Structure 1
Amino acid sequence: MKLHPKHSICILLACSSLSAENILLNFGATSYNGTNAPGHSTGDLTGTYWNTVASDTASGIVDENGLATDIALDFGTSASNGSTTVNYSNATKSSDYTFNSAYDTFITLFDTGLGSSNAVRDTGTQLGIAVAVSGLDQGEYRFYVTTFRGDSDSNTQRDFDLYAGTSTDAMTDFSGSSIGTIINTRSGLSNWSEVDNYLTGTFTIDGTNDVFSILSDSPSYIGVLTSLEIVAVPEPAQYTLIFSAIAVLLLGYRRTQKLDN
């Protein structure tokens, strides 16, 4: 089947409209290039280019296929213990650890490069940790977040309260932005399960509210970020465009067949 140039252009335009920045963030210092993550388990993501980060990153973030983006990350911590107000001038760091074999069978989902380090506050106090993501293209997105710490038996069972939202700049007040709690179930769970070991939600970047921010906090403990997957959700108009391109292609093919006959 030989394509006319205009048909090829239609297909390329349609496909480019469906492509968007899907971002994989691996918090900590241990690199990872696998697919053992909640967003991959749902089929929303397939790439393996994870960005390993634990502090402010102004450039160098790539999408899930390794392509350059304009995305920047601004980390911060809660202003005080238990507070949902974030100070982005506070430092954060990577915290690595070794899994304990005594309870490792309960946490096989996280026993990978993705789960063996976190981003946490860089102080001795029990502060939450936040990250603001800027530079995303306009559109609707879904996110998947995990918060897990496997350095002790008690910590593997920590609950983490999550807050998220969009604003014109990095969010500092998360008081009205709760999205739920990750309870990190250890009752023999071997699959990704929402609430039991991750949370998901959606947000919109609209040109005004163009920064997505998320805060992790834990009662009587520090906040932890383990991974964050961000996937663009195609709009109905984009599906219409690609179906129209396919229709043009089929029409052109039929006309070509008639001329050949």
Structure 2
Amino acid sequence: MRRYWRIFKEFFRTCLVEELEYRSEFIGNLLTSLFGIIVSILMVQIFFYQTDQLGGWAYADVLILLGIYNTLQGLIDFALRPNMPRLLLHIRMGTLDYVLTKPVDSMFFVSLRHLNFWRLIDVLLGFGLTVYGLVEKHFFPSFLDVVFFFITILSALLIIYSLWMLLMTTAFWVIRMDDLSFLFNSFFETTRFPITMYKGWMRMALTYLLPAAFLTFTPASSLIGRWDVQTTITSGFVAMIFFWLARRFWKFALANYTSASS
């Protein structure tokens, strides 16, 4: 584990050097991120012009959930989204052979080799929105609230990583990846609001069929003191299952991969 942490730090350093070559883009990216989060807040306010609660959640609670959503979105765009199209290019051009010969786990390499640093702006803005929501709610999380929040947010990150790896791995058979990206984005958009606002089969599907409830709703609930031990354990268990599936699917794809040199 320590070895892979050192490798990730080297990825971090080299990608940061590349990003610093285009410093003029920082201001434009900052304004874009600010505009995006302002639009999201305005959308929430429009909902609350018509009601006092959204799925049983007050305005401040939804702001906290939206902040967590924005933070996760920033992490996706920072570490995962830059690598997905590159895997398709590796497979098409045969350069995946060079990846497989490196003395490092290939799944780790293809999913974290390239980092998009300016998307960390979204992470900071999301964190700031979460803090603002707590202030608006006049609520200070207890030690247990924070502990359960970190457990559930780490589970959410592992689930997201596993889902992206499952999508990335289909590049061994699928030519167009844009449709798969759209599919994931549509799914992730459902976590922008409390899962309790969905009704009927949609709520059942997002809770039991797809792990949407564990991505933003469970961490936000934990942070505002609505944590549940069983739900927290379940989120960790679901995360490990999805990671195992992603790992097995990756190994299956490699076993069926016809390299450029064969």
TM-score by length of 2: 0.22
Q: Which has the larger strand fraction?
A: 1
Which is richer in helix?
Answer: 2
Q: Scaled by the length of structure 1, what TM-score is found?
A: 0.22
